[in-house]
């Protein structure tokens, strides 16, 4: 009985053992398969993560080196965290590129404006909202350098080489006034300021951004000192000329002035009367003579060979006297050059004297004297001439 059981048991046991062995092998195979899958998955996962991280690093390197052009990362834009990071990074890079492009465009525009301002002939100065001078163009620098000594007479801390970066308050007697003016400025504001012997016209304009926010103020400077001095000099000269003209107008000598182009620019009252009286007689020799059209006429039209007169007048540096026949009249002219204070030739002045009557008397007396010398005492001086002598 025992034997029988034993052999059965032993068969059963060996069967069981077989089954256990088979199950174990199966388990081992499953575990092996799972471990392999696990290892494979880890390897694949690492590959994906590494690729993703490599790409992220490359994008950072691109940004770092200023390359904002996005790479093609479509194959990496998965829904997992790495893919999301890459997508966000690429978006960020694109936005950076957009901002940088726009900034570069603005910088280019500003640079063009600055370059134009730098060389503009208007003197431009810019102050920021803290009232610090942040810009001066070349012309403004030169103007301030030229005016430095004069400005120092009134503002002794003024230094043309130390304007940039400093406050405008340094130069204002009551800085609160300028600050108020500038803070309230909405459009161009013109004023005239005097510093030492200098006078400046200044035009202040607010600088506003697209949203109307104040960025600072720009000031255009115009040094009026020289112009005002010239205006004063011109007024002085005009007053002097007017006095001389008034004097010339009323003197008894008969005066005519021609400019360097030999155009008659002036004749005084005495000459006007003299030539008006002689007009008919003059016309007998010069039929183009018209007293009403003398001013503005070139003297060449009265001269047979104009180059002769031009040669005489060209190098004239002292009085030149001559006698001319104008139709029935004989005129003595004394021509003098006219020079400016600086020695520049301005034209010629001519004093005219109608010698017709005087010559007639001289001739008459000559003929009476010649007759008497020849023993003829019967010749008498003409009545008309006697009257002239009585007047003398
Ligand atoms: C961007 C720079 C500057 C701005 C925005 C500015 C602005 C002004 C303004 C708005 C006025 C008032 C004019 C009026 O009330 O009619 C003024 C006056 C004056 N500024 Fe300036 N200024 C600047 C730079 C300077 C500099 C560099 C000097 C030095 C020479 C100066 C000297 C004066 C003087 C002497 C007056 C008149 C008298 C006074 O108020 O002290 N300014 N400025
Ligand atoms: C500012 C104005 C004038 C100047 C500077 C001027 C100058 C002269 C000079 C330098 C001569 C040369 C004399 C010589 O060679 O001895 C001359 C001659 C003469 N001038 Fe004039 N003259 C002026 C206006 C006139 C006018 C208004 C007339 C006419 C009315 C005139 C008619 C003559 C004539 C007829 C002669 C003689 C020689 C010739 O016909 O060319 N001149 N003048």
Pocket, ligand 2, Cβ cutoff 6 A: 256, 258, 264, 282, 286, 289, 299, 302-305, 309, 312-313, 322, 324, 326, 335, 348, 350
Both 10 and 93 in one domain: the answer is yes
Nearest to 185 by CA among 215, 140, 222, 165: 215
Report pLDDT for 241.
87
Would 141 be classed as within a structural domain?
yes
Instruction: For Cα atoms 93, 96, 100, give the angle at the middle one, nearest 5 degrees.
Output: 140
Which ligand is nearest to the Cα of residue 152, counting in written order? 1
Q: Does ligand 1 have an atom closer than 6 angstroms to the CB of 125?
A: yes
CA of 178 to the centre of ligand 1 (A): 7
Identify whether residues 145 and 201 lie together within a single domain.
yes
Residue 256 CA to its chain's centroid (Å): 44
Q: Check pocket membership of 33 for ligand 1, CB cut-off 6 A.
A: no
Residue of 151, 167, 171 to test ligand 1 pocket, by largest number of atoms within 8 Å of CB: 171
Q: Which runs of consecutive H residues, i.e. helices, occur in 120-174? A: 138-154
In this prediction, residue 13 carries a pLDDT of 85
- Is residue 359 assigned to a domain? no
Please check whether residues 258 and 344 belong to one and the same domain.
yes
Query: How confident is the model over 228-273, as pLDDT tens digits?
Result: 999 999 999 899 989 999 999 999 999 999 999 999 999 999 999 9
Spatial distance between the Cα atoms of 163 and 142, rounded to a whole number of angstroms: 12
Question: Residue 382: inside a domain, yes or no?
Answer: no
Q: Which ligand is nearest to the CA of 193?
A: 1
349 plus 248 within the same structural domain: yes
CA of 349 to the centre of ligand 2 (A): 12
Which pair of tokens denotes residue 60? 């950072």
CA gap 233, 387 in Å, rounded: 53
- Whether 388 is in a domain gets the answer no
Look at the chain and report how many structural domains it folds into. 3
What is the DSSP annotation of 41-56?
Answer: HHHHHHHHHHHHHHHH
Please tell me the distance from the alpha carbon of residue 197 to that of residue 199, in angstroms, as a whole number: 7
Q: Tens digit of pLDDT per residue, the chain (392 long)?
A: 455 567 888 888 888 889 999 999 999 999 999 999 999 998 988 888 888 888 889 889 988 888 888 778 777 777 788 888 888 888 888 899 999 999 999 899 889 989 999 999 999 999 999 999 999 999 999 999 999 999 999 999 999 999 999 999 999 999 999 999 999 999 999 999 999 999 999 999 999 998 999 999 999 999 999 999 999 999 998 999 899 999 999 999 999 999 999 999 999 999 999 999 999 999 999 999 999 999 999 999 999 999 999 999 999 999 999 999 999 999 999 999 999 889 999 999 999 999 999 898 888 888 888 888 887 777 776 665 566 555 54
Please give, one letter per residue, the 3-state secondary structure of 54-117.
HHHHHHHHHHHCCCCCCCCCHHHCCCCHHHHHHHHHHHHHHHHHHHHHHHHHHHHHHHHHHHHH
Ligand 1 atom closest to Cα of 126?
1
Q: What is the pLDDT of residue 389?
A: 55
Q: Count CA atoms closer than 13 A to 250's CA, side-chain side.
A: 5
- Ligand 1 centre distance from Cα of residue 388 (Å): 77
pLDDT of residue 55: 86
Whether 47 is covered by a domain: the verdict is yes
User: Alpha helices, DSSP H only, in 155-216?
Assistant: 175-183
- What is the total residue count of the chain? 392
Residue of the nearest CA to atom 20 in ligand 1?
A: 172
Q: Whose CA is nearest to atom 10 of ligand 1?
A: 178
Ligand nearest to the CA of 316: 2
**What's the DSSP call for residue 167?**
B
Whether residue 317 sits in one domain with residue 246: yes
Query: Is residue 380 included in any domain, yes or no?
Result: no
Q: Is the CB of 172 under 6 A from ligand 1?
A: yes
User: Are 250 and 343 part of one and the same domain?
Assistant: yes
Q: Which atom of ligand 1 is nearest to the CA of 195?
A: 35
CA distance 375 to 369: 10
Domain with 211 in it: 121-223
Distance 171 CA to ligand 1 centre (A): 7
Q: Cα dist. 14→18, 21, 296 in Å?
A: 6, 10, 150
- Residues 255 and 316 both lie in one domain: yes
* Same domain? 205 vs 257: no
What's the Cα-to-Cα distance from 161 to each of 7, 115, 142, 169, 203, rounded to whole Å?
121, 21, 10, 17, 22
Same domain? 88 vs 139 = no
252 alpha carbon – ligand 2 mean position (Å): 21
Q: String of b and e for 173-212 (b: at least 16 CB within 10 Å)?
A: eeeeebeeebeebeeebeeeeebbebbbeeebebeeeeee
In a domain, 270, yes or no: yes
Considering the domain architecture, whether residues 179 and 262 belong to the same structural domain is answered as: no
Residue 108 to residue 279: CA distance in whole angstroms: 76
Q: In terms of domains, do 267 and 338 share one?
A: yes
* CB of 168 closer than 6 angstroms to any ligand 1 atom: yes
48 closest CA partner among 83, 73, 74: 83
Q: Give the CATH number, domain containing residue 293.
A: 3.30.450.20
Residue 34 within any structural domain of the chain: yes
Nearest ligand, CA of residue 281? 2
Q: Which ligand is nearest to the CA of 264?
A: 2
CA of residue 364 to ligand 2 center, whole Å: 27
Q: Which of 157, 190, 223 is the last residue of a domain?
A: 223
Q: Is the CB of 160 under 6 A from ligand 1?
A: no
Strand partners, 349: 257, 336
Same-domain status, 36 and 140: no
């Amino acid at each position: 009985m025992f034997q029988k059981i034993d052999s059965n048991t032993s068969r059963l046991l060996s069967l069981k053992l077989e089954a256990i062995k088979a199950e174990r092998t199966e388990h081992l195979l499953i575990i092996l398969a799972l471990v392999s899958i696990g290892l494979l998955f880890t390897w694949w996962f690492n590959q994906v993560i590494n690729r993703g991280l490599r790409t992220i690093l490359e994008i950072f390197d691109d940004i770092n080196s200023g390359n904002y052009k996005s790479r093609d990362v479509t194959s990496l834009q998965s829904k997992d965290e790495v893919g999301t990071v890459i997508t966000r990074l690429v978006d960020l890079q694109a936005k950076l590129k957009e901002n940088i492009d726009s900034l570069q465009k603005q910088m280019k525009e500003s640079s063009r404006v600055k370059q134009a301002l730098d060389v503009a002939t208007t003197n431009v100065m810019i102050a920021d909202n803290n009232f610090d001078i942040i810009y001066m163009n070349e012309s403004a620098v030169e103007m301030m350098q030229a005016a430095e000594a004069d400005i120092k007479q009134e503002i002794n801390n003024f230094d043309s080489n130390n304007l940039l970066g400093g406050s405008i308050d340094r130069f204002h007697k009551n800085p609160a006034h300028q600050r108020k003016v500038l803070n309230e400025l909405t459009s161009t504001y013109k004023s005239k300021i005097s510093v030492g012997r200098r006078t400046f016209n200044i035009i202040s304009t607010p600088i506003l951004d697209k949203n109307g926010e104040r960025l600072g103020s720009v000031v255009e400077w115009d040094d009026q000192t020289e112009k005002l001095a010239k205006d004063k000099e011109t007024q002085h000269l005009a007053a002097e000329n007017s006095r001389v003209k008034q004097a010339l107008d009323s003197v008894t000598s008969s005066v005519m002035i021609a400019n360097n182009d030999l155009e008659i620019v002036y004749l005084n009252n005495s000459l006007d009367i003299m030539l008006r009286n002689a007009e008919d007689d003059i016309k007998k020799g010069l039929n183009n003579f018209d007293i009403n059209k003398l001013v503005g006429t070139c003297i060449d039209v009265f001269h047979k060979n104009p180059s002769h007169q031009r040669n005489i007048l060209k190098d004239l540096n002292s009085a030149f006297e001559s006698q001319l026949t104008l139709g029935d009249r004989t005129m003595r002219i004394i021509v003098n050059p006219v020079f400016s204070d600086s020695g520049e030739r301005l034209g010629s002045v001519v004093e005219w004297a109608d010698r017709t009557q005087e010559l007639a008397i001289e001739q008459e007396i000559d003929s009476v004297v010649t007759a008497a010398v020849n023993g003829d005492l019967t010749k008498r001086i003409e009545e008309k001439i006697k009257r002239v002598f009585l007047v003398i």
